[in-house]
Amino acid sequence: MIGIIMFAAALVLLLVGFPVAFTFGSVAVFFGVFSEGTGMFAMMPHRIWAIMNNTILMAIPLFIFMGIVLQKSKLAERLLESMGFLFGEVRGGIAISTVLVGALLAASTGVVGASVVAMGVISLPVMLKYKYDKRLSCGAICAAGTLGQIIPPSIVLIILGDVFQEPVGDLFKAAFWPGFVLVAFYVIYILIITAMRKELAPPVRLENNTQTKPQQIKTALKAIVPPLTLIVLVLGSILFGVATPTESSSVGGIGALVLAFLYRQLSFRMVKESALETIKVSAMVFAILIGATAFSMVFTYTGGDIIVEDFMMNLPGDKWGFIVLSMMVIMALGFFIDFVEISYIIVPILAPIAANLGINPIWYAILIAMNLQTSFLTPPFGFSLFYLKGVAPPEVSTMDIYKGVMPFIGLQVIVLAIVALFPGLFGMG
């Protein structure tokens, strides 16, 4: 039972505020030395070396760099302004614009924090100014910002590709339609709820909009075409087998610099700041990964994985009992811990069980990715909620944000259920 006690101890440390990057590593060292002595960690340097030499994981810092450069190029501002002009006069139009821009940012940057902060700074004050409901506004921004977790190029999918030992390109291809359906559900929900309760989002005419409709479309195309070209280059090269995800991530980094030049935002200072931020985020991810690797090693050596496997393999309902319970566990853990720890501690335990039950690994990985997306929205520790609260005006309370995301969490669960029950609709039958 040492492995189970380990996991409980790690959760307690996280809840009291111990740094995430060191929690699992410190717990692993304590319990590993207690159970087997220091000899257990003799192979740990080789494991760390294998992580550092993993070519799949090289794509993570490159995609992070691409996202940060595009953020500093004011891509979000241009997209939100042009989309706002197009849809502002529709009831709920600014919220719909936010969702569509979130999808474009997800496909071009994949950085959740940057997307939520950018849209929180730009679109939230506009929605509040035009009497949009605070909860609807906050929910739309947080939900749109988390689309980067499922829409390629997603860091989550790269990590899951490494864990499942499946081609990342196949995961990107499989995630496209579920991500598209999720965007459609968000837009349809906003249209329906604002039609039923007209006070939530009145139609507006933006004060600084003096353009005719053809001019608005032309302006929007100018804002959309450059990032869309980058998306086609990056994702197209992966999906059509022209380049590996690692190679296409380097194309994305160069493409982001080219866009920054076209937007007249390219400077040595901007590149330096982007590189430093990339190092900070990448260092955090890999520190968590090394700690999670140590934790998984001790958990396995102490027999924790056998306990979990025996329990999961004897569930009623065969593979469906396993899928339902594993999804519930991942969702519950998402309330408290980050997607990186879940991916490298929980998923390696579940993946062999799924293989033994004959479950399609690509389909199961997509279900996990969609489930992990909700961890960014679920109170009390959803990162998107913290990002938005950090830039929201004083009149927006934490409870407004919590209540605002609830319908969108429900929509995510519905789409997750659709993908689980009808994988053939998404090419994963």
Residue 209 has pLDDT above 70, yes or no: no
Residue, of 149 and 383, whose pLDDT is higher: 149
Residue 201 near residue 132, CB atoms below 8 Å: yes
pLDDT for residue 104 is more than 60: yes
* Mean pLDDT across 100-108: 80
Cα distance between residue 239 and residue 229, in whole Å: 15
Average pLDDT of the segment spanning 308-324: 79
At residue 363 the predicted structure's pLDDT band, cuts being 50, 70 and 90, is very high
Give the model's confidence band at 357: pLDDT under 50 very low, under 70 low, under 90 confident, else very high. Answer: confident
Higher per-residue pLDDT: 108 or 403: 403
Quickly state the pLDDT bin for 32 (edges 50, 70, 90). Answer: confident
Whether the pLDDT of residue 65 is over 90: the answer is: no
* Nearest-angstrom CA–CA distance, 356 and 319: 10
Instruction: Taking the CA atoms of 340, 342, 345 and 348 in sequence, report the sign of the dihedral they define.
Output: negative
DSSP 359-399: --HHHHHHHHHHHHHHTTTSTTT-HHHHHHHHHS-TTS-HH
Q: What share of the chain is helix, strand, coil (3-state, %, to 5)?
A: 80, 0, 20
pLDDT, tens digit, for every residue of 377-417?
A: 887 667 788 778 877 888 888 888 889 999 999 999 999 99
Query: Which pLDDT score, from 0 to 100, does residue 291 have?
Result: 83
Q: Where are the domains of the chain?
A: 54-266
pLDDT tens per residue across span 109-144: 666 766 787 778 778 888 888 888 899 999 999 898
Average pLDDT over residues 230-252: 81
Question: In this predicted model, what pLDDT tens digit does every residue of 273-313 receive, in sequence order?
Answer: 989 988 887 887 788 788 888 887 887 787 776 777 777 77
> What mean pLDDT do residues 142-153 have?
85
Mean pLDDT value across the chain:
82
pLDDT at 312: 73
Percent of the chain at pLDDT exceeding 70: 93
Task: Name the band, by pLDDT with cuts 50, 70 and 90, for residue 146.
Answer: confident
**Contact yes or no for 100/76 (Cβ under 8 A):** no
* HSE of 73, CA atoms in CB hemisphere, 13 A: 27
Residue 174: is its pLDDT beyond 70? yes
pLDDT of residue 191: 92
pTM of the model: 0.82
* Percent of the chain residues topping a pLDDT of 90: 14
CA dihedral (213, 219, 220, 222) in degrees, to 10, reads 150
CA distance 120 to 392: 6
Give pLDDT, residue 362. 93
